[in-house]
Amino acid sequence: MSTYLLVHGAWHSGQCWERVVPLLESAGHRVVAPSLTGHGDKAHLLSPEVGLDTHVDDIVGLISEAGLTEVILVGHSYAGLVISSAANQVPDRIARLVYLDAMVPEDGESAADVQPMTQALIDRAARSGGGWRVPPLPELPPPSGLFGVTDPADVAWLRAMLSDQAVRCFRQPVRLDNPAVNAIPRTHIHCTVGVPEGIARRHVPETQPNGTPAQVWELATGHDCMITMPVELAELLLKLG
C-alpha cells in the first residue's frame, strides 16, 4: 500500500480530486486530498497573510500529524511550488514528487518567476479593491475552456468550487536548500491540449536531480486532467505505487 497526497492548484480545492481518489483507493492505497488554507472548506480563512508558506505548512503539518511516510506527493499547477518546499522540509517522508502539469521551481523562485504570466495577475489585483485577491482565470473558448474543462456540466461543477487566491501565494519564494530533497525521484505529467496563449512550460532536463533519467508522461487533455481524464490519470499514478 502506498500513500498518495494530492495537492490542488491555485483557485481550486481538494474537491477537484473527487473522481481520482476512489480509483486509487480501490487499488488498495491510502489517499489524502486536502483543501489548502483559503480554499474549499477552509475558504473562510483566506486573507492577505495567506501565502505559499501557509500552504507548505498545511502539507508538512498534515504529513507530520498523520505520521505519513513513503508519500507519493502530487502537486497540480501552482502546487508544484507547494510540494517542492514541503519536500525540502521533510524529505525523509517523501517517496516521489509528481509534478502534474505543474510549476517546477528552482530554489528562491516564486510563481511569478516560474510562470511569468502570473505577474499580470498580480498587477491586475493591485489595481482592484484591496489589491491582494486574485480571482480565478476566465473561461476561454474550446479547447482551453475553464482550466481545460469544456463539458458544460463539468464547467459548472468546477466553477462552483473555485475561489480567489491570495497574491502572496504567487510572490513568496520556494525553498529548496536541503540537499536531501535532490535524492527524491520525480515524475512529470504534462497535459497537452488547449494550453492557453502566454502559458510557458519549462523544459524538463534529461537527467533528474538524483542523477536518474527524467520521467515525463503526457495526457492528451486539458489542464484539469483530474476532472477530464480521471481514469487515465489514476492509471499513471498507480504505476508509481
Q: List, by residue number, the catalytic residues.
A: 77
Say how far apart CA 50 and CA 128 lie, in whole Å. Answer: 18
The phi, psi pair for 47, rounded to 5°, reads -160, 170
